[in-house]
Amino acid sequence: MRMELYRNGIHDFECQYIFFVIFVLLMDFSLSSDTPESQRLQPAKVIWGVSGKDVELPCDVTPPTPFDSVKMIFWFKDSMGMPLYSLDARGGPLNEASHLAVTDELGSRSYFIIDDQPSNARLRIQNINEKDEGVFRCRVDFINSPTRNFKVNLTLVVQPSPPKIFDVEGKEVISDAGPFLEGRELFLSCQVNGGRPRPSLTWWHNGTILDGVIDSSKDSYKIVNDLVISRLPRNFYGSHLECRASSSHLAGDLIRKISVKVYLKPSKVKIVSSNDLLSVNKAHTIRCETSGSFPPAKLSWYLGGKIIKTASLTEEVTDSFTTSLLTLNVEAEDDGKDLVCRADNPRYPGGSAEDRRQIHVAYPPKVAVRSDSGLTSPVKEGANVVFKCETVARPDPHNYNWYHDGHLIQYNNTAGLEPMGNTLGMMKVTKSSDGQYSCSAANSEGETYSPPFTLTVQYAPRCVKGFEVMRVGALSHEALTVDCHVDALPEVTRFSWTYNTSKGVLPVKGARIHNQDGVSTLHFIPGTADLESLACWATNSVGRQEKPCLFYIIPASNPESPKSCQLRNATNGGIEVTCVAGKDGGLPQSFVLEVSDIAIPAGPPSVTTLSDQGERSLPLFRVLGETPIFRLHSLEPGREYQFLVYAVNAKGRSEPPVVLSKVKVEVPVDTLKENGSAIIVNAEDSPPTSQSLTLILLVLTAIASLLIVGIIAVATILACRKRPSVVRRPSTTRYKPSDDAELSEAGFSDGFHRRSAHYRASLYLQEIDRNSRQDAGPDLILSPTTFCLQTSEY
């Protein structure tokens, strides 16, 4: 095969080359150093070549000794006997040697390069192809030294398949990988098939190698490099990853480049508004900013752990920057709570960041009055009381005021009132300290009033105002009733009475005492002549009365006549007589109005003269009242009357009586007209006072017989215990008792005490009794029925 090749190509050889080759062959045989055995033993150095590119096959031509030099150089390929390239240096130095290449396709692309360094000498083959693969031998012949052979194995590089990248699910990634989450794991697998020499497979990011370790087994056809980044850093956002497959640097790398999509957590969130004191009175705008999130973060607000939903929010969003404006209305309760601005990446579960701050709220004070040192109402008079105005406020209150029953309390040392800021000191409280206390506190946010604190002050008994010193008229050997009125809190537990006599102060003994509701009533008969005064002392849990209520016993006298009497048309018809009471002469007094006809000699000057003359007009009726005010409805219109008004007490009646003459009811009142005939006392009915003495005598006997009836009447009054009584003349008994009842109208209840009615009535009867005896004209007939009337109105 080798010889055939040689013969086939022999005629192409130049003659010079033929001779040269023959010569070499002869030399070859003579030296017999280039045996096939020695060729086979030498290991071939592998030289990689890339199809289409040039390759250089090294051949060290350095002589073994310095004094030797190269004679000839031959290149053989495989088992070919003919050299494909030769160099003849027999004529001179190596660089002047003549080059000779076999005239075939390979030979035309080959050239031996003699470097300055003989060790770097090499055969360059241009534009190699796979046919050029094989073992090349370089034979170097020296002048003196033995021939040397070098073997080179030229092999072509085979690129692997283009790299493919797969995600964790085994899906091929074409251009974009991900999305991945910042800080979480990234997994990508790069794979190639084949390749000679076995390629390297590497992962690259931004010019640096990340992973150069092959994960597949050494002899597998498929080569795999799995990239695992356990915590993906932020800087992978928007970057690229490369997988490079490299068999030989001669052939270049096969590169697969993908972009990586990364979701980023918000890296920064901040409430940028200053942390001011927030007033409850206005809305506040608070700004929060976040950046670093991809996609842009959503901002939400929390106050005290609860999401703020109602507040108005304004949001601005750019690529990775979000701003939120919160309009916040705070309440006092929000003071000290945490305000949180939270940024959430909607695509990144758990990808959130937050900024928090404690807010401080300015609110008006919350106020309450507390008593200091466990004081509880009620307190005893004379105690010292300290109130404290307790406030919760921000900022601290700068002004306090104190109020007692709504009135501002001023500092008053003499009254023991010391309002000092949030405390109120009250020295030695009195009854007037009683009431409701409140305080107010003010700060920049407003003023607040506390609910009232009710202070009750207990005090020892004291006389009711106007009852401290009383004058009591006494009738010798007649029972006296004295009322002692005291005021106390809590109620009186004990009353005691003392006499003041010339012999000294003695306790009251043997008297009847009745105590009820702060009033002690003493019934007694002043026995000793030198009795000057009575004193009444009351005691309660606070203490004993300091100053007693005093009663000076004075001899009783007749009452003074009422004064300033006036006639007036009553509002609902009839007539009204009003007078002012005079002094009572030391005894309870009552008042009498006598109504009589004007008929005969007008207006007697006084009762005494009347009685003397016996000409006094007999009264039509009398009205008794507790006060000197009378209302009369039963007078006959057009008729003239005369009124007498006087006071009566147990001692007697006032003198002289007040006389009101020519009293006339001018206009008939409609309502009275209807039953007027029944009530009006007619002048014709009353016996004329000018009639004969015989008639008077007749009347006298009638009175005498009716005295017994009078006594019965007394008993009736006692039983009835009613107010004003009416005394009628017998001649006017045209009235039926039932009519009298009809006449009753709402009367005088003012100032009239039931308790004393009995007593007064009895006094009055005594007086009437006396008068009737004195007047010698028994002009009164007491009807038992008429004493039970409850009114003084007619």
Residues 304, 254: contact at Cβ < 8 Å? no
Instruction: Give long-range contacts, CB 8 A cutoff, 24+ apart: 124-128.
Output: 124/54, 124/55, 124/56, 124/57, 125/49, 125/54, 125/55, 125/56, 125/57, 125/154, 126/54, 127/52, 127/53, 127/54, 128/49, 128/50, 128/51, 128/52, 128/53, 128/54, 128/55, 128/154, 128/156
User: What does DSSP assign to residue 607?
Assistant: H
Residue 313 or residue 383: which is nearer to ligand NAG going by CB?
383
153 binds ligand NAG (CB under 6 A): yes
Q: Cα separation of 721 and 736, whole Å?
A: 22
209 binds ligand NAG (CB under 6 A): no
Site for ligand NAG in 327-366 (CB under 6 A): none
Rounded least distance, CB 183 to ligand NAG, Å: 16
- Give the H/E segment covering residue 307: strand 306-307
Rounded least distance, CB 730 to ligand NAG, Å: 31
Question: 706-718 burial, b for 16+ CB within 10 Å, e for fewer?
Answer: beeebeebbebbe
46 binds ligand NAG (CB under 6 A): yes
Q: Cα separation of 441 and 453, whole Å?
A: 15
235 binds ligand NAG (CB under 6 A): yes
Q: Considering CB under 6 A, how many residues would be counted as binding ligand NAG?
A: 23
Q: Which of 21, 114, 135, 522 binds ligand NAG (CB under 6 A)?
A: 135
Q: Which of 86, 110, 147, 155 binds ligand NAG (CB under 6 A)?
A: 155
Rounded least distance, CB 264 to ligand NAG, Å: 13
Q: Which of 412, 606, 682, 774 binds ligand NAG (CB under 6 A)?
A: 412
The radius of gyration computed from the CA coordinates of the chain, to the nearest angstrom, equals 72
Rounded least distance, CB 538 to ligand NAG, Å: 15
Q: Which of 2, 544, 568, 754 binds ligand NAG (CB under 6 A)?
A: 568
Q: Which amino acid is at 269?
A: V
Residue 170 or residue 207: which is nearer to ligand NAG going by CB?
207
410 binds ligand NAG (CB under 6 A): yes
Q: Which of 12, 68, 104, 532 binds ligand NAG (CB under 6 A)?
A: 532
408 binds ligand NAG (CB under 6 A): no
What six digits make up the tokens of 534? 């009575």
206 binds ligand NAG (CB under 6 A): yes
Residue 285 or residue 432: which is nearer to ligand NAG going by CB?
432
671 binds ligand NAG (CB under 6 A): no
Residue 667 or residue 715: which is nearer to ligand NAG going by CB?
667
- Which residues make beta-bridge pairs with 436? 454
Binding part of the chain for ligand NAG, among 15-23, 362-370, 529-537, 727-735 by CB under 6 A, reads 529-537
Rounded least distance, CB 499 to ligand NAG, Å: 9
Q: Which amino acid is at 65?
A: T
Residue 21 or residue 260: which is nearer to ligand NAG going by CB?
260
Residue 363 or residue 524: which is nearer to ligand NAG going by CB?
524
533 binds ligand NAG (CB under 6 A): yes
Residue 543 or residue 573: which is nearer to ligand NAG going by CB?
573
667 binds ligand NAG (CB under 6 A): yes
Residues 245, 254: contact at Cβ < 8 Å? yes
Q: Which of 24, 303, 308, 415 binds ligand NAG (CB under 6 A)?
A: 415
Neighbours of 31 (CB within 10 A): 11
Q: Which of 792, 394, 402, 409 is nearest to 630 (CA)?
A: 792
535 binds ligand NAG (CB under 6 A): yes
Binding part of the chain for ligand NAG, among 213-221, 224-232, 322-330, 411-419 by CB under 6 A, reads 411-419
Residue 203 or residue 363: which is nearer to ligand NAG going by CB?
203
239 binds ligand NAG (CB under 6 A): yes
> What is the SS3 assignment for 201?
strand
Q: Which of 31, 250, 272, 505 binds ligand NAG (CB under 6 A)?
A: 505
User: What does DSSP assign to residue 280?
Assistant: T
Residue 46 or residue 600: which is nearer to ligand NAG going by CB?
46
Pairing of strands 417-420, 423-426: antiparallel
Torsion of CA 261, 267, 272, 275, to 10 degrees: 150
567 binds ligand NAG (CB under 6 A): yes
Question: 752-770 burial, b for 16+ CB within 10 Å, e for fewer?
Answer: beeebbeebbebbbebbbe
Residue 46 or residue 715: which is nearer to ligand NAG going by CB?
46
443 binds ligand NAG (CB under 6 A): no
Binding part of the chain for ligand NAG, among 6-14, 220-228, 518-526, 565-573 by CB under 6 A, reads 565-573
Q: Cα separation of 56 and 578, whole Å?
A: 156
Binding part of the chain for ligand NAG, among 33-41, 370-378, 421-429, 527-535 by CB under 6 A, reads 527-535
Q: List alpha helices for 618-753, DSSP H.
A: 670-679, 693-720, 737-743
Longest C-alpha distance within the chain, in Å? 221
Q: Cα separation of 690 and 164, whole Å?
A: 158
324 binds ligand NAG (CB under 6 A): no
Q: Which of 196, 192, 227, 222 is nearest to 209 (CA)?
A: 227
Binding part of the chain for ligand NAG, among 81-89, 320-328, 561-569, 606-614 by CB under 6 A, reads 561-569
666 binds ligand NAG (CB under 6 A): yes
What six digits make up the tokens of 197? 């020499």
Rounded least distance, CB 668 to ligand NAG, Å: 11
Residue 39 or residue 153: which is nearer to ligand NAG going by CB?
153
Residue 339 or residue 424: which is nearer to ligand NAG going by CB?
424
Rounded least distance, CB 414 to ligand NAG, Å: 5
User: What does DSSP assign to residue 642?
Assistant: E
What six digits make up the tokens of 40? 């086979």
Rounded least distance, CB 244 to ligand NAG, Å: 17
Q: Cα separation of 88 and 70, whole Å?
A: 9
Q: Cα separation of 2 and 181, whole Å?
A: 68
Residues within the interface to ligand NAG (CB under 6 A) = 44, 46, 135, 153, 155, 206-207, 235, 239, 410, 412, 414-415, 500, 505, 532-533, 535, 567-569, 666-667
